[in-house]
């Protein structure tokens, strides 16, 4: 649970910094996402989830020399 909360905190910090530093770009990105077909969003979400899980697995298994 500790790792989950740490990851959630990191996500919120990155999202917050993005909106604070680049509000115009964030609004344009949100508009572009709302106009994208559901299939593209679904595939993008699946790819991002798999990439995130692969990175997590790699790091947890001692990747990068940790």
pLDDT tens digits for 4-45? 899 999 999 999 999 999 999 999 999 999 999 999 999 999
Same domain? 25 vs 52: no
Same domain? 27 vs 2: yes
Same domain? 30 vs 1: yes
Domain count, the chain: 2
Closest to 36 measured CA to CA, from 16, 28, 19: 28
Q: From CA 56, how far away is CA 19, in angstroms rounded? A: 25
Domain residue limits at 57:
37-66
pLDDT band at 65, cuts 50/70/90?
low
Q: Alpha helices, DSSP H only, in 22-37? A: 23-35
Q: Answer whether 48's CB lies under 8 Å from 55's CB.
A: no
Helix (H, G, I), strand (E, B) or coil at 52: helix
> What was the pLDDT predicted at 44?
96
Same domain? 60 vs 31: no
Same domain? 42 vs 26: no
**28 vs 61 pLDDT, higher one:** 28
Same domain? 44 vs 25: no
Structure tokens belonging to residue 30: 């949100």
Same domain? 28 vs 48: no
Helix (H, G, I), strand (E, B) or coil at 13: helix
> What was the pLDDT predicted at 66?
56
């Amino acid at each position: 649970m500790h790792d989950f909360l740490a990851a959630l905190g990191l996500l919120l910090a990155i999202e917050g910094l993005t909106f604070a530093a680049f509000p115009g770009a964030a609004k344009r990105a949100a508009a572009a996402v709302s106009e994208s077909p559901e299939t593209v969003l679904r595939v993008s979400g699946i790819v991002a989830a798999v990439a995130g899980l692969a990175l997590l697995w790699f790091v947890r298994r001692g990747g990068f020399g940790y």
